[in-house]
């Protein structure tokens, strides 16, 4: 249960963070502030953008939750599980933003869902222990 809760929060934070960050970077790019390949300039400009601050804060929250989960669960469990965020994004776009979702995207969402289901069924095995914990009933 603990793993499920922490990873759910992580997924939400990451999805929202990516949206904000992407928006912020595009705003900068369209304002012609990025000349191409100088990173320091991109960093400096980024500091001035509230959108990028919000995105970065959300991604930091994601990172803290992700690191916490990694303290007790396998990387090979936690990483694919967080990919469920992509499915959340597609579903949100469809239900809340009335986006037209093409069949290829639904197929991708289905593949991710099946993949995450497989990974969840494989159980969060603790590193170094020989004990295989059953799928997420006790939480870890």
Partner 1 sequence: MKTAMAIAIVVFAGSAGDVSLTKGMKQVGVISVIVPRAFASIGKRVLTNKFFLVGVVFMAVSFFAFLAVLSWADLSLIIPATSISFVVSTVGAKLILKERISRLRWAGALLVSLGVALISLP
Give yes or no for residue 4 binding partner 1 (CB under 8 A).
no
Tokens of 84: 């469920």
Cα–Cα dist 89/65, whole Å? 19
Tell me the closest approach of the beta carbon of residue 2 to partner 1, in angstroms.
7
Dihedral of CA atoms 80, 75, 23, 26 in degrees, nearest 10, equals -100
The residues in 13-32 that bind partner 1, with binding defined as CB under 8 A, are 21-22, 25, 28-29
Give yes or no for residue 41 binding partner 1 (CB under 8 A).
no
- Of the candidate residues 4, 12, 34, 133, the single one contacting partner 1 (CB under 8 A): 34
Tell me the closest approach of the beta carbon of residue 107 to partner 1, in angstroms.
6
- Report the 10 Å Cβ neighbour count for 112: 17
Do residues 15 and 90 make contact, with C-beta atoms less than 8 angstroms apart? no
Give yes or no for residue 112 binding partner 1 (CB under 8 A).
yes
Give yes or no for residue 75 binding partner 1 (CB under 8 A).
yes
- Of the candidate residues 96, 104, 131, 137, the single one contacting partner 1 (CB under 8 A): 104
Do residues 5 and 73 make contact, with C-beta atoms less than 8 angstroms apart? no
**Is 14 exposed, middle or buried, given 0-12, 13-18 or 19+ CB atoms closer than 10 A?**
buried
For partner 1, the binding residues (CB under 8 A) are 2, 6, 21-22, 25, 28-29, 34, 36-37, 39, 42-43, 46, 63, 67-68, 70-72, 74-77, 79-80, 83, 86-87, 90, 104-105, 107-122, 125, 127-128
């Amino acid at each position: 249960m603990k793993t499920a809760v922490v990873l759910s929060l992580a997924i939400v934070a990451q999805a929202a963070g990516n949206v904000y960050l992407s928006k912020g970077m595009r705003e900068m790019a369209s304002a012609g502030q990025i000349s191409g390949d100088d990173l320091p300039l991109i960093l400096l400009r980024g500091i001035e953008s509230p959108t990028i601050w919000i995105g970065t804060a959300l991604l930091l929250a994601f990172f803290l939750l992700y690191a916490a989960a990694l303290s007790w669960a396998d990387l090979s469990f936690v990483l694919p599980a967080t990919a469920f965020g992509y499915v959340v994004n597609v579903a949100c776009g469809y239900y809340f933003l009335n986006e037209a979702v093409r069949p290829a995207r639904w197929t991708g969402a289905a593949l991710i869902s099946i993949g995450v289901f497989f990974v969840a069924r494989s159980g969060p095995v603790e590193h170094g222990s020989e004990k295989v914990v059953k799928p997420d009933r006790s939480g870890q």
